[in-house]
Amino acid sequence: MFASQIHVDSPGFWIGVAVAVCVPLAGAVQWTLVQRSLSQGLQLDLVPSVLLGAALSCVLTLPWALPFQASAADVQWLALLGLFQLAIPCVLSVVCAQVLKAAEVSLLALLEVIFGISLAWYGAHEVPSPEVLWGGTVVICALFINEIFAWRQRNV
C-alpha cells in the first residue's frame, strides 16, 4: 500500500522496519498466550501488560521527544488520541483475545488502518492512492471471507 514511500537509503529506515516487525510479533505472542492459557483452564489477564507496554514506549521514545515543544493544547490532543487510539483499542484487543481466535483478532486489528484512512479521507480530504484503496479492499474481503467460514462452521 505504501511501497512508493519506501526509501531504503534513509538513515532511520531499518529502525522503523525493526519497530514495525516487533509490534505485530508482540501482539501475536500476547494473543497466542491468552488463547493457550484459556485452553489449559488458566485465567491470564494481560490488561496490565498494556499499561506496562505504554510505559516502556514512553521511556524508550523520550530521547527523541526532547526538547518538548508541544503546547498545552497539543498535549491535551495527544492525551485524548492516546486514550482513544491506543489505550482503549489495546485493552479491547486483549479482552477480545479471550473469546476470539488469534487470527480473527489480528484481522479485526487491521480495521484500525481502514478507519484511519477513511477518517483522513472524510475529515481532511486526503484522497488515498489506488494502492491504498486496493489494500483496504483486500482487508475487508479477508474479514468477510473469514466470517463466512466461521458462520458455516457454526451451522454445521
Rounded to whole angstroms, the Cα distance separating 99 from 24 reads 19
139 touches 113 (CB < 8 A): yes
Q: At what angle do helices 102-109 and 13-39 cross, to 10 degrees?
A: 140
Instruction: Provide the residue type at 93 as one letter.
Output: S
Output the CA torsion sign for 110, 93, 27, 13.
positive
Q: What percent of the chain has pLDDT over 90?
A: 16
Which residue ranges in the chain fall short of pLDDT 50?
A: none
The pLDDT of residue 23 is 80
Rounded to whole angstroms, the Cα distance separating 89 from 111 reads 11
Tally the residues of the chain. Answer: 156
pTM, two decimal places: 0.64
The pLDDT of residue 125 is 92
The pLDDT of residue 128 is 92
The pLDDT of residue 1 is 54
Rounded to whole angstroms, the Cα distance separating 64 from 52 reads 20
Other residues' Cβ atoms within 10 Å of the Cβ of residue 46: 20
